[in-house]
């Protein structure tokens, strides 16, 4: 019963992150935060899955490494956008200017 609660809670966190990602289209920072929330919920799901099957947790460490790299890339894009445009609004960013 407790395992079903853990899986349900992880899936609830994942879908709340997806809803937050879909609904936040104004600021880049809120979009990046919702993406990181989705990655953390996926990490928790992966951790539960590997624990349930008694596998090695080395893959979860690699997953965390790639998620940190993804977060650093997102922050660097955010800083670059703020330096060039002055804010993080998607409305002021045009793909035609690239």
Residue 41: closest CA among 20, 2, 10: 10
Provide the number of structural domains found in the chain: 1
Q: What span, in angstroms and rounded, lies between the C-alpha atoms of 23 and 66?
A: 25
Provide the terminal-to-terminal Cα distance of the chain, rounded to the nearest Å. Answer: 53
Q: What CATH number does the domain containing 27 carry?
A: 1.10.287.3510
pLDDT of residue 93: 63
Tell me the pLDDT band of 87, cut-offs 50, 70 and 90.
confident
pLDDT of residue 92: 67
**pTM reported for the whole predicted model:** 0.83
57-74 pLDDT, tens digit per residue, is 888 889 999 999 999 999
Domain of residue 88, residue span: 2-97
Q: What span, in angstroms and rounded, lies between the C-alpha atoms of 7 and 45?
A: 7
């Amino acid at each position: 019963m407790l395992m079903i609660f853990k899986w349900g809670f992880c899936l609830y966190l994942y879908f709340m992150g997806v809803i937050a990602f879909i609904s936040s289209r104004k600021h880049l920072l809120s979009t990046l935060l919702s993406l990181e929330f989705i990655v953390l919920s996926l990490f928790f799901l992966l951790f539960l899955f590997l624990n349930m099957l008694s596998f090695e947790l080395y893959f979860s460490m690699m997953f965390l490494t790639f998620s940190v790299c993804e977060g650093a890339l997102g922050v660097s894009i955010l800083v670059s956008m703020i330096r060039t445009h002055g804010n993080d609004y998607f409305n002021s960013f045009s793909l035609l200017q690239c």
